[in-house]
Structure 1
């Protein structure tokens, strides 16, 4: 049996789907790519882990059909990496318990062993809802903007993902770890309602491999799993089970202290001051007053270090002194696409809202830290 395929296409697609493979898998089968040639001579390759799998088709010429085998992912990727672009041929000989595989290119070859694919677990979407389509760019923007707020909490797994909620006229992407929250909310015309929690790891993989050429993402939600198709790839993954918190209830609407500032200038100042803040709390304090200046301070009493810096802002409201964990605030500000940012506050112990200035679709929430004077 023989398969002839472009080296670059094979390597590119194996590298893409290989991102889902964990370095340590509970099942050894997940250390492999599954190669399947169907009766029409179409080559489908799949990679996976306990939480999901990625697959794609690869154009090829072949004289075999109904072939399925496992090839060690690390070995074949390293073997293909330095081969220049050219057609390569994969010769396969069926043995009693495995396959002898020889990969030939213009001036050499390498050989490896393939395993029977019987041990590779199956995964499918059960009781599927009607599928729906989303603009690929909008979908990517949604998960990328909010996944920064996903938790990594074994005790509260429901917080470890991106909540995607589709109503009759809106689609919303939300993630929260209890200290911060990110939400993208935009118009979407739909007759059906649907919602699911996509695990953070799967959302990060999607944000890396959805190609720029993809125009749409087709989503089919089932009981406990979801199927996502995009640009020639298909992901099937298990959903995070449980009821997502009522995120709209925690977003304040009466914050009356409003600061508007240049994002990069604020981030630079925060980074400089945070060097001198406490290693335990990473607390930085922002003091807003009516002089359109915010004073940023950081202090570490244990090491007798401190820093203070002033940044120009456009501020309306009574003076307020409020503390934040510097790393969270810097990450949220860095993730905002606009050059200017609006920060609205109510009280040093109440949630602060951060928005972009050019659009009203993105909302970040950050909880303050207690300031111990």
Structure 2
């Protein structure tokens, strides 16, 4: 195998694909990155056993072949190469990398031990998405994925396609994030995809733009981009009926500036940052003002007020500050709408423009972040 490639393209591809290298696997070959050259097409492949990545690059090919190289070492070498064309060749059991005056000779791994990457053929459903719409959807819902593996189903993102609408949802039982977009697909499908896979797919969408093709089978999800492909095994388990958690009506609505509220919560919540247990932020919501406070018996007290518009009766309600800030961060609007019932029922945060039917992106049919209150 022998080829020539631009340094930046080589490094960027290896950096992305390294995220699915199985360094901690009991199978040594999973710690490697596979290089396969055919003509002027180089394919880089990695897998951790559950998730696999492929990147296809155009190079100046001179001799076809393949090699398996220790992934971390290849990544570190690529990141340190000087700014020049990279020449790669295989000699016996060594991979040689030459760039300007830098030269590396890397020992190769047993390529026969590298597993075959699954290529799903039974398509349960397919949809082509705008990369930004895909990224925005994943970016909103992934915040609410559970970090605890007690309930495996909650550690993934629920993907649903029905009636021309694609919905992403995630919950850790304390909060719920849902985003739906209109798509041009007659298919129906549903799957539970790992957080790691969704994050990897989002990074590709952000970097490449264009379109994302998503295919779901009973066992795998495939995300196809312009020059790369991600294949992941689906999570098993029954996902909760999350739509039952969303109130169908609300007795109170609060309209408030999203960035201003986030800044106030950040300032007030600093009072509890040194505590071992979470110190909630307390909202005292009045007709045209929200008083935000945090009170700690160990650290002290902080409070600040800001203007808002309340429809309905005043309410006093408390939230986990980190969960609240993450929710405000993923709502894409200058103003947000809080829907409340009482201090023990969940609050639902939505973009104000979407509530008013003025959303500029008409493909967004639903966007909400539901947050359970904290008892005080």
Q: TM-score surpassing 0.5?
A: yes
SS in 1 for 2:353: coil
Q: Which stretches of structure 1, 4 residues or longer, exceed 4 Å deviation after superposition?
A: none
Distance of 1:166 and 1:177 partners within structure 2:
22
Aligned to 1:60: 59
Distance of 1:142 and 1:234 partners within structure 2:
19
Distance of 2:224 and 2:243 partners within structure 1:
29
Pair 240,173 (structure 1): closer, same or farther in 2 beyond 3 Å:
same
Aligned to 1:5: 5
Q: CA deviation at 1:243?
A: 2.4
1:284 matched to 2:289:
no
Distance of 2:180 and 2:86 partners within structure 1:
47
Q: CA deviation at 1:213?
A: 4.2
SS in 2 for 1:334: helix
SS in 2 for 1:115: coil
SS in 2 for 1:231: coil
Distance of 2:142 and 2:231 partners within structure 1:
19
Q: CA deviation at 1:198?
A: 1.3
- Count of residues paired in the alignment: 363
Larger deviation, residues 202-211 vs 343-352: 202-211
Larger deviation, residues 308-317 vs 269-278: 269-278
Gaps of 5+ in 2: 356-365
How is 1:207-356 mapped onto 2 (pairs within 5 angstroms)?
207-277=202-272, 279-290=276-287, 292-301=288-297, 303=298, 305-356=300-351
Distance of 1:102 and 1:213 partners within structure 2:
29
How is 1:121-270 mapped onto 2 (pairs within 5 angstroms)?
121-124=115-118, 125=120, 127-270=122-265
Q: Is the 8 A contact 1:126 1:223 kept in 2?
A: no
Gaps of 5+ in 1: none
Aligned to 2:363: none
Pick aligned residue for 1:115 from 96, 109, 116: 109
Q: TM-score, normalised by structure 2?
A: 0.91
SS in 1 for 2:317: strand
Distance of 1:62 and 1:313 partners within structure 2:
63
Q: CA deviation at 1:279?
A: 4.1
Aligned to 2:360: none
Q: Is the 8 A contact 1:257 1:317 kept in 2?
A: yes
Larger deviation, residues 317-326 vs 67-76: 67-76
SS in 1 for 2:72: helix
SS in 1 for 2:108: strand
Q: TM-score, normalised by structure 1?
A: 0.92
